């Protein structure tokens, strides 16, 4: 017989997130979805609320939490955490200088190396694919003007 999940602070936050996702979905219905050619202002919030609700419910059902919580507080876990924070800070600081695509490429490569992806091919392909996808998404499909840096 499977043990019942103990109620904890994490369970309360997961319930709160699931409820928040549902609230976002209901409120976004009032804004309207629009059409495929001209999406309305409620389309994006609706799907964000849907994702929040679905993933929160999945966390409630499953138990992905590690049994040994001391791994995060170990010296290696702290080093990884601090390196990721440093990469995020550098990403924000360097974006106006180098441009969004270049800094995203470098930051994703750094994240790949911090997460210990083997070799050089996996981090480079991950960072190139991420930078290319975000460039196409924001520049061509959504027409959002992101910082270009010294490129133009």
The answer to whether residues 57 and 83 belong to one domain is no
- In degrees, rounded to 5, the angle at the alpha carbon of residue 139 between the alpha carbons of residues 135 and 143 is 155
5 — phi, psi (to 5°)?
A: -70, 130
Q: Which pair of tokens denotes residue 99?
A: 């441009």
| 24 is a domain residue | yes
| 18 is a domain residue | yes
**Could you report the per-residue pLDDT of 74-127, keeping only the tens digit for each?**
777 888 889 999 999 999 999 999 989 899 999 999 999 999 988 889 999 999
Question: How far is the C-alpha of 26 from the C-alpha of 69, rounded, in Å?
Answer: 36
Domain that holds residue 74: 69-151
| 3 is a domain residue | no
**Could you report the per-residue pLDDT of 63-74, keeping only the tens digit for each?**
655 556 565 567
| 77 is a domain residue | yes
Number of domains in the chain: 2
The answer to whether residues 89 and 17 belong to one domain is no
| 76 is a domain residue | yes
| 79 is a domain residue | yes
Q: What is the DSSP letter of 69?
A: G
| 2 is a domain residue | no
| Domain limit, last residue, from 61, 82, 97 | 61
Total number of residues shown for the chain: 152
The answer to whether residues 120 and 92 belong to one domain is yes
| 1 is a domain residue | no
**Could you report the per-residue pLDDT of 29-47, keeping only the tens digit for each?**
999 888 778 888 888 899 9
Instruction: Tell me the whole-structure pTM to 2 decimals.
Output: 0.59
The answer to whether residues 46 and 89 belong to one domain is no
């Amino acid at each position: 017989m499977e043990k019942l999940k103990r109620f904890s602070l994490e369970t309360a936050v997961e319930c709160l997130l699931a409820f928040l996702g549902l609230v976002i979905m209901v409120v976004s219905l009032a804004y309207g979805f629009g059409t495929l050619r001209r999406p309305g202002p409620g389309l994006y919030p609706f799907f964000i609320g849907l994702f929040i609700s679905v993933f929160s419910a999945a966390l409630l059902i499953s138990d992905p939490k590690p049994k040994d919580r001391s791994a995060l507080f170990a010296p290696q876990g702290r080093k990884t955490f601090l390196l990721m924070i440093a990469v995020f800070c550098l990403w924000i600081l360097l974006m106006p200088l180098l441009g969004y695509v270049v800094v995203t490429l470098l930051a994703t490569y750094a994240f790949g190396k911090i997460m210990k992806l083997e070799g050089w091919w996996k981090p480079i392909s991950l960072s190139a694919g991420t930078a290319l996808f975000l460039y196409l998404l924001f520049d061509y499909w959504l027409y959002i003007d992101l910082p270009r840096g010294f490129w133009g």
